[in-house]
Structure 1
Amino acid sequence: MNSARLLGAVLISSFFVSNVLAQDFDQVQIEAVKITDGVYMLIGYGGNIGVSVGEDGTLLIDDQFGELKDKIDAALLQISPHPVRFVLNTNWHYDHASGNAAFAETGAAVIAHERSRVRMLTDQRHPDLGVEVPPYPETALPVITIHESLTFHFNEDELLVFHIPNAHSDADLAFYFRRANVMHTGDLCFVGGYPYIDILNGGSIDGTIAAMDRLISMSDDGTKVIPGHGPPTDLAGLQEYREMLTTVRNRVAEQISRGRSLAEILDSNPTAGFDEGRDRFVPRELFVEIVYNSLTGRSPGQQGTGNHR
């Protein structure tokens, strides 16, 4: 790939992030999708929101953006009259947790991994996306943090909350409703697109594949899966996603072992066979660069495409 084409790939991702941060939230609609009795998914603008409803109240997994709270509340009222008591963050990224303050101000307790709270206190830097987001306000910070795992006994179900290290980042939580047999993966899984892996904050391609192995081992043919982005999926969807991750990872690794540069690897199209039907949420060029960075230790956003020897 020549320098002009590589620059184009960078501009695509930067353009995407600029659109996210400049989004006209007035145009966003929140759609509620029933996953099973008592468990729903809200689709809006940002990470998918998981919802548990019942006599104990309403529990959210992620909350998108504070500007969308009124619309999220309106969608929730179509599901249950009970207030939001808890918000659990899959991670601290701005498209998943920027609604924390708004929900905390109306009485919800925010819960996240301990490293997410630490990350919220500083700027979010994503140089491979060309974006920097300021620290969260104090009202958005989790009041309860999790080190490894936690079990919620809520709405006649057991919600297992567990840390998945060094995958999408070093601070991700995944969630499993035992009775409902529903899993929320957060950004450990993207459906219909390539993933963003936060290398700068402890993420890795090998850790993401290991995370999929763990989530697959917890699933069966009846498991329903809420991904971080994209439509609901199932065990077969998790297996297909793992196959994509592994294939692209191995193709990139093989070319690294032959001394190929990032530009040369991009030119070879290591995502061949997987591009069709995937949106441009994360451009394939950026995904390949993320895999390359993860395998070589190259810093995200680093300029140049010199050979890795």
Structure 2
Amino acid sequence: MKKLTLLLMFMTPLASAQDWIATSIEHAELAPGIFMLTGGDGKMAGGGIGLLVGDEYVVLIDDGFNPVGPALLEKIKELAGRPADFIISTHAHGDHTGSNQYLAEQGAMIVGHDNLRSRMESDPRQNTGPGALPIITFSDQMTFHVNGQEAYVFHIPAAHTDGDAAILFRDANVIAPGDLLFRGLFPFIDLDSGGNVAGYKAGMQKLIDMANDETIFISGHGAVGTRSGLRQDLAMLVDAEARVKVLVDKGMSEEEIVVANPLAVYHDDYNWNFITTERMTRTLIRSLTTD
């Protein structure tokens, strides 16, 4: 069911957005005042969305696709009694920043990495209006002290993109790593936006090192994550790269490697519509032959 739902997110343009983009939002409370928001009725809101609610401020982590904004605002008001004060964007992709403009018009201040703003400024697909861009940017790390919580925001260099941020709620032991976590799925490593396989692996290891067995992860895509789940996904990626490298080192061409299907062992568990086994293989080949 998980992969069927995610498949809908990347359906052919022949399908109307109304068929698969959520018009309602559901929530699950992961810790006191910290929620994970997802699309209702089995439809997609976008990437994983986090929400911190309290008497002082309302902080949103990512905000899904552009059409989701009104439903997301309704859910935020239901849980917090008012719109979001801050939105922390974990990276520039439109399934995580699509409602920035709409929610900024409701008063939210957007925060993101320096490179995220640069990417959004230069890519009209991500820049849906002047309000969509972060007005507060950072290069390495920053901390929000709100609602009795410490929300530690930190950059993970050259991983999913070159503008990735993850958020650690220290007291609640919840981490929102954006698309550094595709739980139980082949990850999208956006090599054209500064992403890097080595950086992605290093970023995942950093998250594992920061966590303990009780840590809850708000996945960028897929189910709620745990440290053991991250370890499993990282082990898959390390092994997948090694399997492809053996064939690259033999001098095989890209097409020969794809036909050999070195990632077949992971197909049943990790293949999905957007990052298929073949696409993951090609990403690893490109990474190994251009880095």
| Same-fold call, TM cutoff 0.5 | yes
On the 8 A contact 1:91/1:173 being kept in 2, the answer is yes
On the 8 A contact 2:21/2:67 being kept in 1, the answer is no
Looking at structure 2, the residues matched to 71 and 20 of structure 1 have their Cα atoms a distance apart, in angstroms, of: 24
Q: Where is the helix percentage greater, Structure 1 or Structure 2?
A: 2
What's the offset of the Cα at 1:219? 0.4
Looking at structure 2, the residues matched to 74 and 58 of structure 1 have their Cα atoms a distance apart, in angstroms, of: 14
Partner of 2:246: 254
Looking at structure 1, the residues matched to 263 and 153 of structure 2 have their Cα atoms a distance apart, in angstroms, of: 32
Partner of 1:128: none
Looking at structure 2, the residues matched to 268 and 52 of structure 1 have their Cα atoms a distance apart, in angstroms, of: 47
Structure-2 change in CA distance of 1:221 and 1:90 (3 Å)? same
Looking at structure 2, the residues matched to 288 and 22 of structure 1 have their Cα atoms a distance apart, in angstroms, of: 30
- The runs of 5 or more residues in structure 2 that have no matched partner are 1-6, 40-44
Q: Where is the strand percentage greater, Structure 1 or Structure 2?
A: 1
- The runs of 5 or more residues in structure 1 that have no matched partner are 1-12, 125-132, 299-309
Structure-2 change in CA distance of 1:25 and 1:142 (3 Å)? farther
From 276, 280, 284, the equivalent of 2:277 is: 284
Deviates more, 1:16-25 or 1:141-150: 16-25
Partner of 2:73: 73
Looking at structure 2, the residues matched to 222 and 26 of structure 1 have their Cα atoms a distance apart, in angstroms, of: 33
- Of structures 1 and 2, the one scoring higher in RCO (CA 8 A, sep 6+) is 1
Partner of 1:119: 119
Q: Which letter maps to 1:290?
A: T
Q: Which letter maps to 2:264?
A: A
1:206 alignment partner, SS class: helix
1:276 alignment partner, SS class: helix
Q: Which letter maps to 2:280?
A: F
What's the offset of the Cα at 1:20? 10
Deviations 1:4-58 (A, max 9, x none): xxxxxxxxx9x93644995227851422122111111111321110111111131
Deviations 1:93-147 (A, max 9, x none): 11110111001101000000001101111126xxxxxxxx264321111100011
Partner of 1:268: 260
Partner of 1:295: 288
What's the offset of the Cα at 1:70? 1.6
Deviations 1:177-234 (A, max 9, x none): 0000000110111013211111012111111111111111000011001111111010
Looking at structure 2, the residues matched to 18 and 206 of structure 1 have their Cα atoms a distance apart, in angstroms, of: 31
TM-score (norm 1): 0.84
Looking at structure 2, the residues matched to 66 and 157 of structure 1 have their Cα atoms a distance apart, in angstroms, of: 29
Aligned length: 277
Looking at structure 2, the residues matched to 18 and 183 of structure 1 have their Cα atoms a distance apart, in angstroms, of: 32
Matched residues, percent identical? Answer: 36
2:72 alignment partner, SS class: helix
Deviates more, 1:262-271 or 1:15-24: 15-24
Q: Does 1:23 find its partner at 2:17?
A: yes
Matches within 5 A, 1:1-309: 16=10, 18-19=12-13, 23-24=17-18, 28=22, 29-44=24-39, 45-123=45-123, 133=125, 135-278=127-270, 279-297=272-290
On the 8 A contact 1:65/1:97 being kept in 2, the answer is yes
CA RMSD of aligned residues (A): 2.1
Looking at structure 1, the residues matched to 218 and 212 of structure 2 have their Cα atoms a distance apart, in angstroms, of: 14
Structure-2 change in CA distance of 1:232 and 1:80 (3 Å)? same
Looking at structure 1, the residues matched to 161 and 50 of structure 2 have their Cα atoms a distance apart, in angstroms, of: 20
